[in-house]
Amino acid sequence: MAFQFTETSYYAEHFKQVTLTGAEFIDISFEDCHFENCDFNESSFINCHFLECDFSNSNLSLVSLQDCRLHEVLFKQCKLLAIDWSRVHWPSIALDSQVVFDQSVLNDSSFFSLQLQGLKIIDCRCRDVDFREGDFNQGSFSHSDLTGSLFSKTNLSGVDFSEASNYQIDIENNSIKGAKFSRYEAVRLLEGLGIELVD
């Protein structure tokens, strides 16, 4: 018999190699739970709560997180393709450590207009991700590949871009005061100024 979530609340559970693709989960609370090698591809979580949970080596591509609450959630070595993170119910006052992405793939996702100060996206693939009009003040994109990702009217003040690569950030259209960039990649910031760089 296939695994199912039969309770409305789970505490300190370890879910390993659970496969529930294309499923729907409503009003379930997870606290201090660990998800390892799980597959939730194309599933929908509606009004669920994840508190101090971590996902490792799991597939959550195309997942819907409608009105879900995430607090201190870690995604490590996960596949998170094409997720609209703006559907999550984020607190009106942004707090650090809402979510941390580590060594994960977030391609084709959207963080459009989100207020997520302190957001950490570390050593991730973030190709074609929408960060426009968001506030990620004091966050980190270190060691991440940002090929094709969009930044416009984005608050990147104090953000750590060290060892990040392939980003295109218009310094006249985004706030980057206090941000940290690797010297060899920082020349990308000058591309939108219509100037010529020579060796």
Query: How far from each other are the two terminal CA atoms of the chain, in whole angstroms?
Result: 65
Does position 70 have pLDDT exceeding 70, yes or no? yes
Provide mean pLDDT across the span 65-72.
95
Q: Coil, strand or helix: which one is 193?
A: helix
Provide mean pLDDT across the span 176-190.
80
Mean pLDDT score of the chain: 92
CA of residue 186 relative to chain centroid, distance: 23
Measure the CA–CA gap between 85 and 134, rounded to whole angstroms.
12
Spatial contact of 115 and 97, defined as CB atoms under 8 Å apart: no
> Residue 86 gets which letter from DSSP?
G
Q: How confident is the model at residue 95 (pLDDT cuts 50, 70, 90)?
A: low
Q: Coil, strand or helix: which one is 85?
A: helix
**pLDDT value at position 196?**
56
Q: Which domains does the chain have, with CATH numbers?
A: 12-80 (2.160.20.80), 90-193 (2.160.20.80)
Provide mean pLDDT across the span 98-120.
95
Does position 91 have pLDDT exceeding 90, yes or no? no
Measure the CA–CA gap between 88 and 102, rounded to whole angstroms.
19
> Residue 187 gets which letter from DSSP?
G
**pLDDT value at position 44?**
97
Weakest mean pLDDT among 60-74, 87-101, 107-121, 141-155: 87-101
pLDDT tens by residue, 117-150: 999 999 999 999 999 999 999 999 999 999 999 9
Assigned token pair, 176: 């980057």
**pLDDT value at position 1?**
45
Measure the CA–CA gap between 34 and 14, rounded to whole angstroms.
5
Does position 92 have pLDDT exceeding 80, yes or no? no
**pLDDT value at position 94?**
60
